[in-house]
């Protein structure tokens, strides 16, 4: 069932992000492209509403800068895998995200990575965000595809929710092999998730230099920039 979300928060953190996102250097093609992939299986139901609101706020702020194109994709249920058109409109993205709800099923991270490679062959992806909590697939083939994305210059920002060890291992490996970055979050660290997603959007539009400006002195975000430098 769709849920209506309010406009972006008036919090200092979001306002600061909007201002910084507007100042970042634009990619050579004039607009950053970011693939935003979400695990929408039932295990994420307890935190879905809250996380969806934070994700919407962040991408609403990014879209308002006029420099970011986002494609939303997600998996759930029995082999359900969906992806949207590329959008640079805050209202269009918000509508797409509101339409997503969780449904029980196994992870399909392999399909996400295959889709990312196809999209990258059509037009380069500046970054990919993967948000999830576990992995129920063989890890080696997924790592191979992450390495291929890395060769194409598409880093994966792996944001892992919860404490599942297999999920954490995979997200760390995907980030490392693609030249990306890894971080954890949970229901008690909503601000961290918002900042991490903001960092991914800033990187997609302005690269490492813009991310370093966005990070400022923040320890968590500076840790992301150090990973991307390796």
Instruction: List the CATH number of the domain containing 122.
Output: 3.40.50.410
16 by Cβ neighbours in 10 Å (0-12 / 13-18 / 19+) ranks as: middle
Answer yes or no: is pLDDT of 70 > 90.
Answer: no
Q: Which one is predicted more confidently, 212 or 60? A: 212
Tell me if 19 is assigned to some domain. no
Tell me if 11 is assigned to some domain. no
Q: Which one is predicted more confidently, 127 or 46? A: 127
In terms of Cα–Cα distance, which of 211, 141, 139, 149 is closest to 177? Answer: 149
Answer yes or no: is pLDDT of 84 > 80.
Answer: yes
What order of strands is seen across the sheet that includes strand 68-76?
80-83, 68-76, 32-39, 127-132, 156-161, 181-185
**pLDDT tens digits for range 170-198:** 999 999 999 999 988 876 776 777 778 78
Tell me if 170 is assigned to some domain. yes
Structural domain total, the chain: 1
Residue 136 phi, psi dihedral angles, 5° rounding:
-120, 30
Tell me if 143 is assigned to some domain. yes
pLDDT band at 43 (very low <50, low <70, confident <90, very high): confident
CA separation for the pair 178, 154 (Å, rounded): 7
**Quick one: what percent of the chain has pLDDT higher than 90?**
41
pTM, 2 dp: 0.81
Tell me if 5 is assigned to some domain. no
Answer yes or no: is pLDDT of 19 > 60.
Answer: no
Among 17-26, 35-44, 53-62, 144-153, the range with the most confident prediction by mean pLDDT is 144-153
**pLDDT tens digits for range 135-151:** 999 999 999 999 999 99
CA separation for the pair 186, 60 (Å, rounded): 22
User: Tokens in use for 222?
Assistant: 């500076």
In terms of Cα–Cα distance, which of 37, 42, 51 is closest to 102? Answer: 42
Tell me if 83 is assigned to some domain. yes
Tell me if 8 is assigned to some domain. no
Tell me if 192 is assigned to some domain. yes
- Domain, as residue range, for 113: 30-229
Q: Which residue has the tokens 């797409």?
A: 96
**Residue 143 neighbours by CB distance under 10 Å:** 17
């Amino acid at each position: 069932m769709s849920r209506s979300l309010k406009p972006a928060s008036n919090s200092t953190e979001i306002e600061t992000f909007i201002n910084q996102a507007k100042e970042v250097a634009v990619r050579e093609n004039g607009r950053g492209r970011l693939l935003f992939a979400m695990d929408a299986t039932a295990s994420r139901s307890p935190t879905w509403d809250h996380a969806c609101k934070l994700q919407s706020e962040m991408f609403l702020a990014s879209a308002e800068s006029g420099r970011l194109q986002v494609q939303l994709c997600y998996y759930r249920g029995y082999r359900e895998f969906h992806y949207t058109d590329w959008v640079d409109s805050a209202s269009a993205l918000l509508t797409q995200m509101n339409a997503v709800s969780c449904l029980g099923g196994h992870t399909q991270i392999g399909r996400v990575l295959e889709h990312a490679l196809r999209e990258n062959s059509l037009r380069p992806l500046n970054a990919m965000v993967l948000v999830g909590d576990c992995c129920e697939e063989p890890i080696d083939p997924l790592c191979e595809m992450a390495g291929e994305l890395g060769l194409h210059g598409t880093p994966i920002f792996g944001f892992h929710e919860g404490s599942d060890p297999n999920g954490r291992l995979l997200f760390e490996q995907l980030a490392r092999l693609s030249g990306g970055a890894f971080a954890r979050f949970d229901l008690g660290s909503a601000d961290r998730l918002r900042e991490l997603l903001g960092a991914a959007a800033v990187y997609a539009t302005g690269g490492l230099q813009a991310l370093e400006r966005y990070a400022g002195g923040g320890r968590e975000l500076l840790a992301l920039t150090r990973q991307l430098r390796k």
